[in-house]
Structure 1
Amino acid sequence: MAISDIKEYSHLSSRDVEELSRELDSIRREVTDSLGAADAAYIRRTIAFQRMLDTAARLLIVGSRTTTGWSLGTTALAAAKSIENMEIGHNVSHGQWDWMNDPEIHSTNWEWDMAGLSSQWRYSHNYRHHMFNNVVGMDEDLGFGVIRVTRDQPWQPNHLLQPLRNLLLAATFEWGIALHGLYSERARAGTDTEKSTYTRALLGKIARQAGKDYLFFPILSGRRWRRTLKANITANLLRNLWAYIVIFCGHFPDGAEKFTLAELEHESRAEWYLRQMLGTANFRAGKVMAFMSGNLCYQIEHHLFPDLPSNRYAEISTMVRALCEKFDLPYTTGSLAWQYLLVLRTVHKLALPDWFLTASADDAPETASELKFRPAGDQPAGAARIGLRTAQRTPPVTPHGIHRPRRSERDG
């Protein structure tokens, strides 16, 4: 099932893991020490560009009298919302720009342009998700409570509907995130009064957000209010679909491993680093797509350094890749289309009961554990060990020394 011993799974000794941690700490120091005016200018330019794009899109929507003009305006509005949510709101809320000491661009002050409250999201995401990334039973982002993404999550009859749930979650992603944040806050609340306070706070944000998109701007458009209302609904839908794809491709394709609660016992900072590297996935993107995704095409780098500015992830990725080469670790990436196809395969496959599945529960594309490397029992003491990346490409050896394909290679 999921990984319970990350050192065994990764084929690294305690000394190797500590050395990897020192190298990652060195990357952090190098980037932190180099932060300066160019980085501050980047986020300020991004905010200014997003606001200008939002304004221009809304003027085009209400001012144009053609379908083409409406389509261009709506697409631009969806892009502006995506930039605000991902490259600005998400990253600001992670504290990536707190070092600037600018009250406007501080994690405690930014309220993003979507239904959920930033304050509630920061607990469910910054803490619960990033601290316990892909740990079954701790990370509430693992399938967001509605999608089964690992065999460690017991199958239930309602999972047969998860292909439809997946479509619904994609279309309403901002609302799913809002309810997800509220659920986390209510779960940690000590009293019913606190729970009610969190609920009222979210309802207030929803009222403000819905009022802005579906009342204020349509009313401001006068007789063309239907045109504006339809554009806002469409832009929100497009933004939701894009955010959903980016997030799912960073966490649920093949190679984004899952972990058991046992892995958290006595977990060191060094092992936390390693879990982030093995529990996330990237997708290849040019500069425009990287910007539009909030640089979450570099999900591995983001999980290693969630509070470092996103505009530095591209350069960090070259250093992380070099470390993966050095320690023979996989650097999980692929095209956006390919990563999403892998996600869809997992979503549809795990909608079925386990008895319909053929690959081993310890060596399936979406679920693996250290047991996949023990086809003939535990490795003898003192035996030479190869790295994880090489081990994943090498068929296991039977007790008679004959290589045989793993079940996942035979059955898919």
Structure 2
Amino acid sequence: MTLAPDRTSISPTAPHVSEPTHVAAPHHTLNTRLSVSGGAERTHPPKKSGEPNPMGHLTNEQIEQIGIELDAIRAEVMNSRGAKDAAYVRRIIKTQRTLEIGSRALLLFSGVKVKGVRPAFWLGTAGLSLAKILENMELGHNILHGQWDWMRDPKIHSSTWDWDMASPARQWQHSHNQLHHTYTNVLGKDTDLGYGLLRVDKDQQWELFHLGQPIWHLVNAMFFEYGIAAYDLELRGNLQNWDQLSDEDKATFKANLHEMLTKIRKQCTKDYVVHPLLSGPNFGWTLLANFSANIVRNVWSNTVIICGHFPDDIQTFETDSIDGETRGEWYIRQMLGSGNISGPTLLHILSGNLSNQIEHHLFPDMPSNRYETISPQIRDLMQRNDLHYTSGPLLKQAYQVYRKVCRLALPNEEPGRTRWSVVRGELGKVLKGQGGARTKRHAPSTAS
């Protein structure tokens, strides 16, 4: 277990970079952790909870054939990228910027009443909310994944793009691109499983802190960008273990904290000082509009993300299950550890095409506008191999997640004890000053 964030370069999963295919290369040299063949027949035992391993019914040959088919799908799309794709992202950028500029212009008159209402306030707030959603989801998230690096446009590149979020791009890319997408849904490895705040799987350790997670979840959704920034910084883990950190780790943390606070100050100055001041007598209404737009953007992005990662039927994996993991197994883990949101084209665009979360986790650097076109192939591949393709409407998925958050706020039942009796027992220890492991907060491991 590392006590501080590992900021060394972790080789990202092969789908993040230009790659040799299964056929062309006997070894995946760009990701030494993954191999084409597992050698001896690998077994997939049940999880510690007793639930069957979701890929336990597949043979080595079937698993690696899945990898070969997915490599072929990826190669076909990546080799066909061109002017149509470039035009798509540039059109989204133009739409987003036009919407933001127009909305901010309207908000300069946000306090003006017309027949008892403030049309500039409501229209400006709605437009700015949509602009922030587009910038965050379809642009920022996907550009920082390197989906448009192939265009070689320095203005639309993962190394230069800066987004309207509290978390600095570089820090987010480390925790998201490198850690989360490499160790998707691996217990103890993927700290995106609840972001160190929520218990979203019964194989995660329960603590008294989790009793309040139905409330933590709602608060986190409203201020999601700040939660992500703290999570990317591993703020809690570093502060809890400060005395055990090396001088180098402390210096790195301080530098990252300064970078994050500088980013937040820049954002707040723009939204809560400069723009409202430009509104003159309408300062208060413009301030409220900017705050509201940020809340709408945060709740929307949180909703899309939790619907892609935590609804029913999403699988998690034991830490030791990825020892010697092959490319095919990695692909299967991405498919079973993600879920899609069904809906119209507008939903896909506003979600950054993360409504196709399964396809995104398979191919993180594939242009987002291509996910919907390959989803029938992915669904067919999974059905042919008896793998569940999780998909459902937004409200259904969101309901399932919140129900899970409420249910897992309580511990698992223990032999001869109900969940509430376990809670009462732990509360009793606290009242008696005994404490215990289940009353403490632990820093998640980011060891690779």
Post-superposition shift, 1:4?
A: 10
Normalised TM-score (structure 2)? 0.77
2:92 aligns with: 46
* 2:144–2:173 contact (8 Å) kept in structure 1: yes
1:278 to 305, 323, 336: 336
Cα separation, partners in 2 of 1:3 and 1:258, compared to 1, 3 Å? farther
3-state SS of the aligned residue for 1:256? Answer: coil
Query: How many angstroms apart in 2 are the aligned matches of 1:83 and 1:259?
Result: 32
1:228 to 278, 281, 286: 286
One-letter code of the match for 2:273? L
3-state SS of the aligned residue for 1:283? Answer: strand
3-state SS of the aligned residue for 1:158? Answer: helix
Cα separation, partners in 2 of 1:227 and 1:357, compared to 1, 3 Å? farther
1:180 aligns with: 231
* 2:272–2:290 contact (8 Å) kept in structure 1: yes
Q: What are the superposed Cα offsets for residues 257-276 of structure 1, whole Å, 9 maximum, x if unpaired? A: 11110111111111100000
- Map residues 126-141 of structure 1 onto 2, 5 A cutoff: 126-141=177-192
2:320 aligns with: 262
Query: How many angstroms apart in 2 are the aligned matches of 1:337 and 1:294?
Result: 17
Post-superposition shift, 1:247?
A: 0.3
* 2:108–2:278 contact (8 Å) kept in structure 1: no
* 1:173–1:241 contact (8 Å) kept in structure 2: yes
* 2:306–2:398 contact (8 Å) kept in structure 1: yes
Query: How many angstroms apart in 2 are the aligned matches of 1:3 and 1:41?
Result: 49
Alignment partner of 1:20 is 2:66: yes
Cα separation, partners in 2 of 1:272 and 1:6, compared to 1, 3 Å? farther
Which deviates more, 132-141 or 9-18? 9-18
* 2:107–2:279 contact (8 Å) kept in structure 1: no
Where does structure 1 differ by over 3 angstroms across 4 or more consecutive aligned residues? Answer: 1-10, 184-190
- Map residues 8-407 of structure 1 onto 2, 5 A cutoff: 9-63=55-109, 65-66=112-113, 67-183=118-234, 190-355=248-413
Post-superposition shift, 1:38?
A: 0.5
3-state SS of the aligned residue for 1:355? Answer: coil
Q: Count residues in correspondence.
A: 359
Query: How many angstroms apart in 2 are the aligned matches of 1:224 and 1:69?
Result: 11
Query: How many angstroms apart in 1 are the aligned matches of 2:369 and 2:193?
Result: 26
Normalised TM-score (structure 1)? 0.83
Which deviates more, 64-73 or 102-111? 64-73
Cα separation, partners in 2 of 1:73 and 1:166, compared to 1, 3 Å? same
Cα separation, partners in 2 of 1:5 and 1:148, compared to 1, 3 Å? closer
Query: How many angstroms apart in 2 are the aligned matches of 1:81 and 1:59?
Result: 15
Query: How many angstroms apart in 2 are the aligned matches of 1:300 and 1:42?
Result: 22
Q: What are the superposed Cα offsets for residues 108-138 of structure 1, whole Å, 9 maximum, x if unpaired? A: 1111011111110000000111000111111
Post-superposition shift, 1:63?
A: 2.7
Query: How many angstroms apart in 2 are the aligned matches of 1:34 and 1:218?
Result: 46
